[in-house]
Amino acid sequence: MAPKGEFFRWWGKDTRKGTPVIVTMENVNYSVVEIDGPDSAFRPIDKDRVKNAKQFTWVLILKANRAVGCLAWLGHILWALLGAIKKRLFLRNGVAMESENENEGKSGKGKFLFGFILCLLMTAMAFLGFEVIAHYMRWPYFQEHNLHIPQTLEIRSWLHLIYVSWLGFRADYIAPLILSFSNFCVVLFLIQSLDRMILCLGCFWIKYKNIKPRINGDPFNSNDNEPSKYIYPMVLVQIPMCNEREVYEQSISAVCQLDWPKDRLLIQVLDDSDDESIQWLIKGEVSKWMQKGVNIVYRHRLIRTGYKAGNLKSAMSCDYVKDYEFVAIFDADFQPNSDYLKLTVPHFNENPELGLVQARWGFVNKDENLLTRLQDINLCFHFEVEQQVNGVFLNFFGFNGTAGVWRIKALEESGGWLERTTVEDMDIAVRAHLHGWKFIYLNDVKVLCEVPESYEAYKKQQYRWHSGPMQLFRVCLPSIITSKISIWKKANLILLFFLLRKLILPFYSFTLFCIILPLTMFVPEAELPAWVICYVPVFMSFLSILPAPKSFPFIAPYLLFENTMSVTKFNAMVSGLFQLGSSYEWVVTKKAGRASEPDLLAAAERESLPAMNLQQSHRGASDSGLSELIKLKEHQESPPKKKKTNKIYKKELALAFLLLTAALRSLLSAHGVHFYFLLFQGVSFLLVGLDLIGEQMRAHVAARVRSLI
């Protein structure tokens, strides 16, 4: 046994990591050492204890075992990636090419952008081959890239002559052009980074001073001696939906359980579904809550124009709306808590200039996969920093389209819902701001919803979110200029709200990191400094991830993914700005219906009930169409799921190969940080292009549900 003196007994009080290994030597002349880990044998030891070759061998074996495990893990990831590439690019198993009929394809802008990227890729590959030939032919200037070519240069061949001429043309004409454009993008990058830093400082100040909207007293406080004197205003709740089979039930259920006097509340279910079976299901859910005493109505439009804006506009034209003072809006996947109205509506008391109270979003499926985690980081910064700072210091921010309460008078004075853009929420917010209405953002009030779990759904959502603001900027710019608001409010709307955060951000992200950076690898005279490529982006990503501190391990994937999404955002921004093709098309974001763990349990229990229990659960429904409803519940509530088809996104794949080609060129020149950035950014584009970013961990989810049950 190893010797244990007083020192060892005292040291043993600390918690040790790993499994202790006792090595005993057969030769009594050798000392005995206790090894706690692979590095313990190399620590300073007493002079009277002699190191042993067998001990070093044992430690080296431990280190080799750890290294082999790490290499095996990396090899497994690489093998899985190669398998996915083979499956998607060569075998085409369960894979479909990106449809040209999607948003960016209809306008022709998507085809033009893909052709431009493909042209850059072919040119880069040709230049790379030329540079490799020059390197192995030992032609000068491959490493040095001198700007002035000596007259005594010996021309070895016609290919060498072409290479030398290219070096001179590159230094005299191409490099200055790229330098000018890159400097312009870097200036925009620094301005946008400064804006983000100011927003973060404002958020820190809000946290430090504990600034937030407050209600005077407790309007709902009551006791046995004196009841509450609060006069509940008339509130209208609207749930616009369109073919929302997965989430209609949970959203209607959550809204019907709002804690508000039933005679002061009306719920409108605004169904734009064109699937008759879904219409019957929603009607049955509305009938069930109606029989429970909830004041709820079902509305379906025969002429479905204007998408969500047209749906809301049609609902506000009802005669009974004039009896209500406020309207709360929830999209079909949102589930407000029962106290939502009590936390929001009282802010309107004694504040006649207040037009909107906006609550924060909470995401129930943020841990579903890598894509949902990255969206959580992005949206947490939007709500925690952007919305909160603008709400506190400017009393204005973009309405998020849901989880908000409007004063109906503010909607009417601002012109109501208009169908001129795909961002009707931002449109009404800008017009209300121009009419002098103020907004309040409540960061402490959270409404549960879900984020897209597939890259296809997320891409369509981001396309609409970035093309719509540019449409709106075109149509409302004259109104902003001629409005009666102060000059600094006009400057905030035009320069910050629209230009800097909606136009400049996607523009420089795409051009600087996806076009200019790989080009500079082949034009080293215009090379970008390391602080532009690494230090400033990492610092900005650090600031962006602060509102979601649990997501710090994902800071590198977040940075890479944001640059990857820049191609979609840039394409959408240009389409909206120049009114190209389908920039006015609304695509409903596909939802999975993953509300919460209690809802998963309830759904599992409902599926286990026999058919007669299903009939009893809808006994409160109206007799009209009851038999049809039961049949639909049995046969169509769980339709056969289509096999998931992954898509290949051509623009992302072309950019992936362009960046990887530039990474190879950077490796030849030993650029350091440029090589690593290009390599990882190219891999991220490759993963997105092969639709691997939103892969479902179905086995993990199934195990989680089984453990809950």
Catalogue the active-site residues. Answer: 272, 425
Strand partners, 239: 269
Q: Are 626 and 481 in contact (CB under 8 A)?
A: no
Closest CA to 364 of 442, 443, 441, 447: 447
Among all chains, which residue has been given the structure tokens 């409010």? Answer: 489
User: Which pairs with CB-CB distance under 8 Å and at least 24 residues apart come from 410-417?
Assistant: 410/355, 410/356, 410/435, 410/437, 411/316, 411/327, 413/437, 414/355, 416/313, 416/316, 417/309, 417/310, 417/312, 417/313, 417/316
Beta strands in 296-433 (DSSP E): 296-300, 326-329, 354-363, 404-407
Q: Is 519 helix (H, G, I), strand (E, B) or coil?
A: helix
Q: What string of DSSP letters covers 165-192?
A: HHHHHIIIIIHHHHHHHHHHHHHHHHHH
Q: Exposed/middle/buried for 591, CB within 10 Å: 0-12, 13-18, 19+?
A: buried
Q: Are 351 and 360 in contact (CB under 8 A)?
A: no
Antiparallel, parallel or unpaired: β 95-97 and 646-648:
parallel
| Total residues found in the chain within this entry | 709
Q: What string of DSSP letters covers 484-496?
A: SS-HHHHHIIIII
Rounded-to-integer distance, Cα 675 and Cα 664, Å: 8
Rounded to 5 degrees, what are φ and ψ at 169? -65, -40
Structure tokens at 566: 């820049």
Rounded-to-integer distance, Cα 463 and Cα 27, Å: 74
Q: Report in angstroms the alpha-carbon separations of 430 from 353, 395, 424.
A: 15, 12, 10
The radius of gyration computed from the CA coordinates of the chain, to the nearest angstrom, equals 31
Q: Are 252 and 285 in contact (CB under 8 A)?
A: yes
Closest CA to 625 of 292, 299, 279, 269: 279
Q: Are 546 and 359 in contact (CB under 8 A)?
A: no
Q: Are 289 and 296 in contact (CB under 8 A)?
A: yes
Rounded-to-integer distance, Cα 591 and Cα 448, Å: 14
Q: Are 419 and 465 in contact (CB under 8 A)?
A: no
Antiparallel, parallel or unpaired: β 95-97 and 326-329:
unpaired
**For residue 343, how many other CB atoms are within 10 A of its CB?**
17
Antiparallel, parallel or unpaired: β 235-241 and 265-271:
parallel
Structure tokens at 63: 């280190």
Task: Give Cα 414 to chain centroid, integer Å.
Answer: 31
